[in-house]
């Protein structure tokens, strides 16, 4: 299959869009596609930088003198070798006292630690809570100001969790006996008992979840509290978007923040990506479909 080269520069500007039909033609074909031979002297290049897809990835040739055949060190290289994995498998991160992955941070406008984060000695002072897996939303409860986090479970147990300064949310996917853990990452190797989202055996004082999506993982997304008398019974309840299940769940909480009831809102199905109550008291929803919905209670 022959394809005409696409110009690199048009009107003095890089040609970075507007060739969707040609791209679709190439990517829909089954035949291999080869670039033209380069006029660069590859045998004289010792190192190079390549821009692949839309992410900048340095490619460092190793293990050979010919750049065309040398092994490469790069994030893309790792991706190529580990296709099908959607997780970074960094098992030590959530409980690491210094690195910021798997944490909720609380900082001031200069990026410094806000006072009162109350983490244990040896922790980065910017950390507010740690031991998270994948927080997608944070909302503050009206009246108390307590933050609530919503996060993805692995193969089970999405979680909504009331947060407290210095708290451990209890996720620790490090290697453990009884599980077969590829890359020493146990995050997907067990179940709610053997690889819990909140490990109260390892961490007896872990922050307890308010709700676990009935023990299933469906891509829990954003959350926000509904406030105002226009919401009637739902005034003060927490709305949570469940992306994989295309539903919006309304949680009723007790004074400790534990869920006492969960109902699905009567609303069109979508992947709810962001939930914000506007100054008009109504709910604004951004969907993965590229729409903003203005939801008025009735
Ligand atoms: Ca947890």
Please name the helix (run of DSSP H) or strand (run of DSSP E) that holds residue 249, with its range, or none: strand 247-253
User: In the prediction, which pLDDT does 83 show?
Assistant: 62
Ligand 1 mean position, distance from CA 149 (Å): 10
User: In the prediction, which pLDDT does 17 show?
Assistant: 73
pTM of the predicted model as reported, rounded to 2 decimal places? 0.73
Ligand 1 mean position, distance from CA 276 (Å): 24
Neighbours of 252 (CB within 10 A): 15
Dihedral (CA of 45, 51, 53, 55) sign: positive
Going by C-alpha positions, the residue among 227, 298, 228, 226 that lies closest to residue 267 is: 298
User: In the prediction, which pLDDT does 228 show?
Assistant: 97
pLDDT tens digits for range 84-117: 555 567 899 999 999 999 999 999 999 999 999 9
Return contacts of 49-57, CB within 8 angstroms, 24+ apart: 52/76
Which of the four pLDDT bands, split at 50, 70 and 90, describes residue 64? low
**What residue spans define the domains of the chain?**
133-295
For residues 16-44, one letter each, b for 16 or more C-beta atoms within 10 angstroms of the residue's C-beta and e for the rest, the string is eeeeeeeeeeeeeeeeeeeeeeeeeeeee
User: In the prediction, which pLDDT does 276 show?
Assistant: 97
For residues 133-158, one letter each, b for 16 or more C-beta atoms within 10 angstroms of the residue's C-beta and e for the rest, the string is bbbbbbbebeeeeebbbbbbbbebbb
- Name the token pair of 285: 């929803």
Ligand 1 mean position, distance from CA 70 (Å): 43
Ligand 1 mean position, distance from CA 266 (Å): 29
- Name the token pair of 99: 């690195």
User: In the prediction, which pLDDT does 85 show?
Assistant: 54
pLDDT tens digits for range 246-294: 999 999 999 999 999 999 999 999 999 999 999 999 999 999 888 999 9
Ligand 1 mean position, distance from CA 157 (Å): 9
User: In the prediction, which pLDDT does 11 show?
Assistant: 81
User: In the prediction, which pLDDT does 60 show?
Assistant: 59
Ligand 1 mean position, distance from CA 268 (Å): 30
Ligand 1 mean position, distance from CA 18 (Å): 45
Residue 215 to residue 158: CA distance in whole angstroms: 7
Q: How far apart are the first and last CA of the chain?
A: 58
Rg (CA), the chain: 24
- Name the token pair of 4: 């005409």
Residue 66 to residue 73: CA distance in whole angstroms: 14
Going by C-alpha positions, the residue among 206, 203, 134 that lies closest to residue 167 is: 206
Query: DSSP states of 163-232 as a string?
Result: --TTEE-----B--TTS--GGGB-TTTS-TTTS-SS-TTT-TTPPPPSB-GGG--S-EEEEEE--SGGGG
Instruction: Give the CATH architecture of domain 133-295.
Output: 6 Propeller (2.120)
In three-state secondary structure terms, 28 is: helix
pLDDT tens digits for range 177-234: 999 998 889 999 999 999 999 999 999 999 999 999 999 999 999 999 999 999 999 9
Residue 158 has pLDDT above 50, yes or no: yes
Residue 81 has pLDDT above 70, yes or no: no
Going by C-alpha positions, the residue among 243, 252, 223, 247 that lies closest to residue 150 is: 223
In three-state secondary structure terms, 43 is: helix
What pairs with residue 107 in β-bridges? Answer: 113
Question: What percentage of the chain has pLDDT greater than the value 90?
Answer: 66
Ligand 1 mean position, distance from CA 162 (Å): 10
User: In the prediction, which pLDDT does 51 show?
Assistant: 52
Which 8-state DSSP code applies to residue 113?
B
User: In the prediction, which pLDDT does 210 show?
Assistant: 98
Task: Tell me which residue has tokens 């293990």.
Answer: 63
Going by C-alpha positions, the residue among 149, 141, 168 that lies closest to residue 240 is: 149
In three-state secondary structure terms, 35 is: coil
Ligand 1 mean position, distance from CA 152 (Å): 10
Ligand 1 mean position, distance from CA 166 (Å): 14
Ligand 1 mean position, distance from CA 111 (Å): 26
Ligand 1 mean position, distance from CA 4 (Å): 54
Tell me which residues have their CB within 5 A of the ion that is ligand 1: 169-170, 197-198
User: In the prediction, which pLDDT does 43 show?
Assistant: 78
User: In the prediction, which pLDDT does 225 show?
Assistant: 98
pLDDT tens digits for range 49-59: 655 444 445 55
User: In the prediction, which pLDDT does 221 show?
Assistant: 95
Which of the four pLDDT bands, split at 50, 70 and 90, describes residue 45? confident
Ligand 1 mean position, distance from CA 170 (Å): 5
């Amino acid at each position: 299959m022959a394809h005409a080269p696409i110009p690199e520069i048009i009107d003095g500007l890089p040609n970075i869009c507007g060739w969707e039909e040609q791209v679709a033609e190439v990517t829909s074909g089954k035949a291999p596609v080869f670039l033209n031979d380069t006029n660069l002297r590859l045998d004289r290049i010792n190192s190079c930088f390549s821009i692949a897809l839309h992410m900048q990835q340095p490619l460092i040739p190793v293990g050979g003198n010919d750049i065309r055949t040398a092994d490469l060190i790069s994030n893309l290289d790792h991706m190529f070798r580990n296709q099908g994995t959607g997780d970074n498998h960094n098992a030590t991160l959530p409980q690491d006292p210094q690195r910021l992955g798997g944490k909720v941070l609380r900082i001031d406008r200069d990026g410094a630690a806000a006072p009162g984060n109350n983490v244990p000695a040896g922790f980065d002072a910017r950390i507010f809570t740690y031991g998270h897996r994948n927080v997608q939303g944070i909302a503050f409860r009206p009246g108390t100001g307590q933050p609530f986090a919503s996060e993805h479970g692995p193969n089970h147990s999405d979680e909504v969790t009331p947060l407290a300064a210095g708290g451990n949310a209890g996720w620790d996917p490090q290697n453990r006996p009884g599980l077969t853990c590829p890359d020493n990452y146990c995050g997907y190797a067990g179940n709610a008992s053997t690889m819990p989202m909140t490990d109260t055996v390892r961490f007896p004082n872990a922050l307890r979840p308010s709700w676990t999506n009935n023990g299933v993982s469906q891509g829990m997304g954003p959350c926000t509290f509904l406030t105002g008398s226009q919401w009637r019974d739902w005034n003060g309840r927490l709305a949570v978007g469940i992306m994989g299940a295309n539903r919006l769940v309304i949680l009723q909480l007790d004074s400790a923040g534990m869920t006492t009831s969960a109902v699905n809102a009567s609303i069109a199905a979508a992947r709810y990506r962001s939930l914000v109550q506007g100054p008009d008291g109504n709910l604004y929803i951004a969907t993965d479909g590229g729409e903003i919905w203005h939801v008025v209670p009735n």
